[in-house]
Every structure is written in C-alpha cells, then in structure tokens.
Amino acid sequence: MLRRHPEPLLWMLFSAGGVVSGMLMPVLVLLFGVAYPLGVVDAPTYDGLRALVANPIAALVLFTLCALSFLHWAHRFRHTLYDGLQIKHLNEVIAVVSYGVALVGSGVAAYLLWQLS
C-alpha cells in the first residue's frame, strides 16, 4: 500500500507561516506590544479597530496570519524537541499535542473573526 506522508505538506505550511509571520509580526508587535502600551502612539479607538477587523480583507489576513503562525510554531517546536533536545521517545505525543494546539488555535481565530465581522 502506498502511504502518503504528511511531512512535505507540514514543511510547506511551516515555511508559509515563517514568511507570513516574518512580514506581519514585527510591525504588529512594535505597535500592539510596545508603542501603544508605552504611549508612544495613541492606541486605536474601540470603534476604529472594530471596524478595521470587520473588513473582510483584514479578517482574511488576520486568519491566515494566526493559522499559519500556529502551524509554524507547532512544526518548529516539534522538530526542535526532536532534533535539538533529542526528546525522541515522546515524538508522537509531542506531534499530536503541538499540531492539535495549532488546529484549536486556528479554530478559535476563525470563530472570533467570524463573530467580529
């Protein structure tokens, strides 16, 4: 029987997640994580941000960012534990837990963005 391996797909999602998070996250962390809390720039108003997130294109970008970032994390986390820290005997458990967390996280993102639209 020919078994199709999920590994190539997982690597593709990992790298897509790496590019998308690399492009979008630095500016988002700078604003939401540092500049707004420090008061360097004023945080968006509730209505302003809510309207922005309700935009279908913004929602799609945010969903893509969240889902691919979670998968990027899951894949890299699993491989670092396996190759880097050599926790090989727990490989299956770690895979199920990390990809599981990524799927649940993506589901939560989809639900929130759907409710906000």
Partner 1 sequence: MEQTHTYGDTPYHPRWLRRRVSTYWWLWKPAYLRFILREGSCMFVGWFTVYLLLLLAALLEGPLAYELFLAWSATPAVLIVNVVTLGFVVFHAITFFQAAPQAMVVRLGRARVAPQTVLLGHYAGWVVVSAVVAFFLLGA
Distance CA 37, CA 102 (A): 28
- Tell which positions 59-98 bind partner 1, by CB under 8 A: 62, 65-66, 69-70, 72-73, 76-77, 79-80, 84-86
Distance CA 85, CA 94 (A): 13
Which is closer to partner 1, CB of 6 or CB of 108?
108
Residue 88 near residue 39, CB atoms below 8 Å: no
First to last CA, the chain: 45
Task: Catalog residues that contact partner 1 under the rule CB under 8 A.
Answer: 15, 17-19, 21-34, 36-38, 41, 43-46, 48-53, 58, 62, 65-66, 69-70, 72-73, 76-77, 79-80, 84-86, 105, 108-109, 112-113, 115-116
